[in-house]
Amino acid sequence: MSDDDELEVELEARLEEQEEFEPPESFVEQANVTDEGIYEEFEENWPEAWERAADLLDWQSDYDTVLDESEAPFYKWFTGGSLNASENCLDRHLDERGDEAAIEWVGELGEERTYTYEQLHEEVNEFAAVLRDQGVQEDDVVTMYMPMIPELPIAMLACARIGAPHAVVFAGFSADALATRMNAADSEHLVTCDGYYRRGDPLHHLDKAEEGLESVDQDVTSIVVDRLEDDFDHDLGPSQHDYHDLLAEQEGATVEPVSRDAEDMLFLMYTSGTTGKPKGVKHTTAGYLAYAAWTSHAVLDIKPDDTYFCSADIGWITGHSYIVYGPLALGTTSVMYEGTPDYPDKDRMWEIVDDHNVNQLYTAPTAIRAFMKWGEQYPNKHDLSSLRLLGTVGEPINPRAWKWYYKHIGQESCPIVDTWWQTETGGMMVTTIPAIENMKPGSAGPPLPGISADIVDERGSPVEAGRAGYLIVNKPWPGMLRTLYKNDERFIDEYWDEYSIPEKDQWVYFPEDGAKIDDDGFITVLGRVDDVLNVSGHRLGTMEIESAIVGVPGVAEAAVVGGDHEMKGEAVYTYVITEDGYEGDEELRQEIIEAVEDSIGPIARPEAVVFSPELPKTRSGKIMRRLLEDIANGEELGNTSTLRNPEVVEEIAKKAQDD
């Protein structure tokens, strides 16, 4: 072995053993937030300390109260003030940033479009004029059913400009999901497109949109973006209009941004509910925008001259907060990518980072695990030295994936912010401020300044360090949902009733996640409470078990579910994807079992370890654990129509039988 090889092995061993990482000095020197006293400031001066978030915005009229708690839990923020979100994301940047890029869009087929702030402002104004001409009034809900094309944020900002809330429906959702959401919102206006590309193939999206409209109760007027051009010939009906034709009619039009009250609705976002009926999460103009801007500034360290890349889809809250509203409110350049991370090859993400000199990359642990599986040869083909900060979002990241990300993408010189938050929270809640705290792989970090969170047991009492419990938030925050659209009662029932702590005489927000906390106040999120197994009376978090499994060399990804067991009540069933070059053999199976027992204890010993080439995932990348439970219990497989890879379910079932 050469000296270089020995050094590499030594460095790998050090990284594997290291449990805490300091932010690089070079990062700290230039960071937006470096004062360790910020936590104490928020504690001593709460809620007025949130004025620092409001100060990131331009106000048409000043607010008079930071927080109105008089109708808790229907909290109100920055009451008395008025502003416009579109104006904050566009108009105020024109003098200094007009010629700078606001959005850099990369298409599936390699096309690129750049919108400067001046150009974005121009098209948003023209489309705002289109919407008004189509009869859209202030407070009308406009639905958008679109993929990752620039016309989506343009439509969002045009709606915000005229005071019409938008409701974006993820393009991968079914026709029935579109209809359900439009009916719930009483939306009479739809912005969609003819189609888009996936892995180079055109998908005819308009057919799906039209199918959904057949089940919408009210009459709907549609505006259709022509994305596929010659790849999809279609005729528009009498209630359908071509986006570009309408835009041409409004060429050069300007629309004054409507003054919106701080608590006026900015958008609706429908998210899954326990009853099966989607919940219309309502976010308002001032609190949401201030919180998205402040967390983008403090956590993602975004500056106006940065090029920032979030790989999420705008159909989800991450895309709303951290592709559109947060970055554009700060006047930076936001990169949008239409396609998948492995088309036309597995280095697509790194090609974008290289070509666009990206400074911050915010992506999901699911993607990072895929990058690990594909191997470091793909990022090694590109210059990633422009990166200054890395982030993860969407689910907890296990320590092994964290360290791979840190080494092979960040070159051990980029802090990683591991962020926990939800659609309902509007923005990040638990994570490190990158220039202040050390990082602990696998642990999101402490609650952000101004966020009061505890880990409690079933009685609402704080648990000891290292013990699992329920994550709760004790105080309101500006980005919080205000209610569920037209359903205040469900809002209270789902989020505020069950885990309120009477002796504290206050409302407590319960996000339905399990977590544990260490002696330093760092929180490790273990997953949804419904992702907790009850094995012989012991509650075991699936995320904790999955983290132990993925820590085994050769394992790329794992999913854990509960299966019925005559003696234990519930048993642990694991489904494992191996890294390239590793076989799913008996030796690896035993290593996985031992890792779980060492990490958690014999009580968590897997009943079965099934090796599979893939896991069943929805189009948004979430593992469909319900189907894995069906397989574990030998039951008839449920509906697979929402999966992006439905063919894998039968294959996993056969593997489970063979194993």
Q: Looking at domain 25-451, which of 3.40.50.150, 3.40.190.10, 3.40.50.12780, 3.30.70.141 is its CATH number?
A: 3.40.50.12780
Q: What is the mean pLDDT of residues 597-617?
A: 86
Tokens of 57: 């915005």
Q: Are 128 and 161 in contact (CB under 8 A)?
A: yes
Q: Looking at residue 274, what is its pLDDT?
A: 46
Domain ranges of the chain: 25-451, 468-524, 536-658
3-class SS of residue 257: coil
Q: Are 302 and 360 in contact (CB under 8 A)?
A: yes
Query: Which CA distances in Å does 163 have to 127, 190, 248, 261, 554?
Result: 13, 16, 23, 10, 52
621 pLDDT band, cuts 50/70/90, is low
641 pLDDT band, cuts 50/70/90, is low
> Could you tell me how many residues make up the chain?
659
- CATH of segment(s) 536-658: 3.30.300.30
Q: Looking at residue 507, what is its pLDDT?
A: 82
Can you say whether the dihedral through the CA atoms of 369, 374, 377, 379 is positive or negative?
A: negative
Q: Looking at residue 379, what is its pLDDT?
A: 97
**pLDDT tens for each residue of 165-180:** 999 999 988 888 899 9
Round to whole Å and give the CA distance between 592 and 590. Answer: 5
User: Which of 584, 512, 514, 513 shows the shortest CA–CA distance to 549?
Assistant: 584
Round to whole Å and give the CA distance between 55 and 329. Answer: 12
Q: Are 451 and 475 in contact (CB under 8 A)?
A: yes
**pLDDT tens for each residue of 206-248:** 999 999 999 999 999 999 999 998 888 888 889 999 999 999 9
Residue type for 103, please?
I
Strands 196-198, 189-193: pairing kind:
unpaired
Q: Are 150 and 107 in contact (CB under 8 A)?
A: no
DSSP H/E element including 113: strand 112-116
List CB contacts of 559: < 8 A, sequence separation 6 or more: 542, 546, 574, 575, 615, 623, 625, 628
**pLDDT tens for each residue of 317-358:** 999 999 999 999 999 999 999 999 999 999 999 999 999 999
The model's pTM: 0.86
Q: Are 184 and 134 in contact (CB under 8 A)?
A: no
Residue type for 337, please?
Y
Residue with the bigger pLDDT between 530 and 140: it is: 140
